[in-house]
Amino acid sequence: MRIVIDILIAVGFIFALAGAKGVIQMPDAFCRMQASTCITTLGILGVALGGALYAFFVLGSVGTGVKVLLLGLLILTINPIGAHSIAKGAYKSGVRPEKEMEIDDYGRDFHD
Amino acid sequence: MPKTKLPAVVSTFCLCFVFWLLLTWSFTAQEMIAGAVVSLAVALFTSHFFIHEDAFWLLRPAKLAALISYAFVFLAELVKANVDVAGRCFAGCKDVNPGIVKVPVDLKGDYAEDMLANSITLTPGTITLDIAEQDGKTWYYIHWIDVAETDREKAGELIKGRLEKEIRRIWE
């Protein structure tokens, strides 16, 4: 059981590391947001699942495990709302990538 | 403003109370009575924002089965997209080709559209910027980290994958 827990937490760390690297190195604001979704999905899920299993089987505390699982579920449901409004707000306030985008339907339809 | 209806209040109350029980995880009488009072107050004031349609759809077996199968499909898509974006990040973040595509969506109801938009945003590599209605059709504006297809229908197939079908099964 301990091995499964360690693997889950390690997977979470790897995806969080990838997301952090992307947030620093990606070329523009929108791509940086895309990289940060890595942290909030598989990064959080891996660590939360591993933590919950740790609480169930090693600590023997069911309440803590359920709380950690709920935390993961709540982050999954609430996160996209924030991501969507940050991205839309950035676009509306005039943030554009330095390099021309491959296709920009949004800018074509709402050029105000 | 829609009126507060009894089924909506009951279902909101049940949801709040289950969350209370899971978060406190103590089943003494005092805690449960306090939770019931708080949940009832919350349900009375917020149920008309929360429930617009059938209050007990989750109790129908077909819908519950559709929701569970959606969860597995979504997890598979999530892992696939995560591996893709994490690979790009580790490879030096140069291999990106961003753009905003407009994608047609054929779903009925606010909940279904909201669920698909949130699923797309939660998948790394795609963020829903806006939802617009034109000519009786619903369109999503989606920022895509690697534009593989500029044709709207085909891009939609690539981005939405099986998610749209699963969500249609849940809400219709």
- pLDDT tens-digit readout, B81-133: 889 888 888 887 777 888 888 888 888 888 888 888 889 888 888 888 888 88
* Nearest CA among B61, B57, B65 for reference residue B7: B57
Q: Which helix (H) or strand (E) holds A16?
A: helix A2-25
Q: Contact, A88 vs B89, CB < 8 A?
A: no
Residue B147's pLDDT band, with cuts at 50, 70 and 90, is confident
Mutate to test the interface with A, among B27, B83, B143, B146 (most CBs of A within 10 A): B143
B100 and A101 within 8 Å at the Cβ level: the answer is: yes
Q: What are the domain boundaries of chain A?
A: 2-94
Mean pLDDT (chain B, rounded): 85
B7 touches A at CB < 8 Å: no
Strand (E) or helix (H) holding B12: helix B6-24
- Interface predicted TM-score of the whole assembly (ipTM), two decimals: 0.82
SS3 A84: helix
Residue B109 has a pLDDT of 80
> Of A62, A37, A25, A106, nearest to B132 (Cα)?
A106
Percent of chain B with pLDDT over 70: 97
Cα angle B159-B66-B102, degrees, rounded to a multiple of 5? 20
What tokens appear for B60 in the block?
A: 């129908």
Question: How far is C-alpha B5 from the chain's CA centre?
Answer: 24
What pLDDT score was predicted for residue B60? 81
pLDDT average per 10 residues of sequence, chain A (112 residues): 91 90 85 86 90 90 90 89 88 78 72 55
In chain B, which residues have their Cβ closer than 8 Å to the Cβ of A49?
Answer: none
Per-residue three-class SS string for B110-149: HHHHHHHHHHHHHCCCEEEEEEEEECCEEEEEEEECECCC
Band (pLDDT 50/70/90 cuts) for residue B2 is low
Q: Taking 70 as the threshold, does the pLDDT of residue B13 lie above it?
A: yes
The yes-or-no verdict on residue B1 having pLDDT over 70 is no
B170 pLDDT band (50/70/90 cuts)? confident
Contact with chain A for residue B141, Cβ under 8 A: yes
Helix, strand, coil shares of chain A, percent, nearest 5, are: 80, 0, 20
Q: Which residues pair with B127 in a beta bridge?
A: B143
Torsion of CA B41, B42, B43, B49, to 10 degrees: 140
Look at residues B104, B106, B108, B130 and name the one whose alpha carbon lies nearest to residue B117: B130
For residue B34, pLDDT beyond 80:
yes
**pLDDT reported for residue A6:** 93
Q: Judge whether B57 is closer than 8 Å to chain A, CB to CB.
A: no
